[in-house]
Amino acid sequence: MKTTRSPKLNRRQFLTGAAKAGAVIAAPLIVPASVLGRGGAVAPSERIVMGGIGIGGRGGYDLGILLQERDVQFVAVCDVKRARRDAVKQQVDKAYDNHDCATYRDMRELISQRTDLDAVLIATGDRWHTPASILAMKAGLDVFCEKPSSMSIAEGQELVAVARRYGRIFQSGMQRLSEPNFIFADQLARTGRLGKLHTVYAHQLKFQMKTDWLSAEPEPDPEEFDWNLWLGPAPRRPYNSAYLRGCSAWLDYYDFGTGVAGWGSHTICQCQSGIDALTTSAIEYEYPGNDDSDGLVCRFANGVKLVLNAQGWPKPGDKGMWRGSCGVRYEGSKGWVAIADGYARPDVSSPSLLQEFDQQVRNYQEQTNRPLQHIRDFLQGMRSRRACIANETVMHRTMSTNHVANVCMLLRRNVRWDPVKEEFPGDAEANRMRSRARRVPWITA
């Protein structure tokens, strides 16, 4: 793996040099087959060396996949919680049958000290996603970052600029772009099998962006839990243990969360894929006249409208747009398709559409040469240096739709957006909301 990391002698260079030296002296040497990459193993010099930052619930799922990838070696974890970083170390050491996984409290130490790394998995709270990604990419690392990968339009712009400037591979954790059921729905929509598309629907949770904060409690020992690092670029707020009772405990606060994007980073992205609009954003946003975003309409330049559906969390067996979480529905002049998590196959307007399932998925793979596994797409992108399916541009443009929807909800009125100039035409009030202030020293520009 080629990086722009420090010129210090790293593990990979050492192994290469040792191999050359061995060839020169031609001394008898018994080398395990795994070191040479035989027997299905991947030689150490060819493995992708990774670390992790903020490995909790979703990050733990990602880590479980990475530990099964034979061409990945996970070597270090950073977390502001001692108990969590210790738990990840235990999981990694058990998987590799060693005691090698290093632990860090501060991501700056992991990034600067581990010159053997090729990439990092970032699964922190939302406020850390862009700053951590930028720090890593500036250090020459490729990045797999969980969603929502930006807190504002300005953050997305900055992340795109850094990824391009430093030539890094970036993948946002919008994993349904790589899942067969969702790919099939997108293929039906993109290839005209539903006729002319007119409306797409995206599952949404009720909009919450509280601007107050919880009362102060005594801060814990930083070695056990570093509150200052947990806050990171967010405004300084008093410690309260209630924030730590799952992501939903902090997600509803403007200081820490992303409003519409908290869930829309899953489903709005998927809808934009279905209407072939992954590199742009909606241009008109209609305020729904409520406080929860249900019914908010986003119109695209191609005439398709995207409607947010925030009618709670559907359960299997419920009748409606879809059954389950993260649902999307595409409607055209000839039919419709709906899909959510947990489906065996999508719901369709005509059973005949499902007869094309295998062929449509095969067509997608032949046309794109992409795997049906999101993390594998990232690893292949690292090796080929080809942009991932949820690359920095796709992340930024789909997240911009989310962030503009937030502005619409916060201003409680309709807004217009120019995705080329990335501004609200003639709307100074809305334009001021394209960015959020970051706390020193977490200003990464």
Render pLDDT for 365-391 as a digit per residue (tens, 0 to 9).
999 999 999 999 999 999 999 999 999
- Chain position carrying tokens 């170390």: 89
Establish whether the linkage from the previous residue to 148 is cis, with ω within 30° of 0. yes
Write down the pLDDT at residue 441.
Answer: 85
Q: How far apart are the first and last CA of the chain?
A: 27
Domain ranges in the chain with CATH number 3.30.360.10: 176-208+259-434
Domain ranges in the chain with CATH number 3.40.50.720: 41-175
Write down the pLDDT at residue 79.
Answer: 97
> Homologous superfamily of 41-175 in CATH?
NAD(P)-binding Rossmann-like Domain (3.40.50.720)
pLDDT tens for the chain, 445 residues: list them: 444 454 344 444 443 444 444 444 344 455 454 444 445 567 878 899 999 999 988 999 999 999 999 999 999 999 999 999 999 999 999 999 999 999 999 999 999 999 999 999 999 999 999 999 999 999 999 999 999 999 999 999 999 999 999 999 999 999 999 999 999 999 999 999 999 999 999 999 889 899 999 999 999 999 999 999 999 999 999 999 999 987 778 999 999 999 999 899 999 999 999 999 999 999 999 999 999 999 999 999 999 999 999 876 665 555 678 888 899 999 999 999 999 999 999 999 999 999 999 999 999 999 999 999 999 999 999 999 999 999 999 999 999 999 999 999 999 999 999 999 999 999 999 999 999 999 988 876 5
Write down the pLDDT at residue 36.
Answer: 43
Domain at 176-208+259-434: CATH architecture: 2-Layer Sandwich (3.30)
- Chain position carrying tokens 């598309």: 197
Write down the pLDDT at residue 401.
Answer: 98
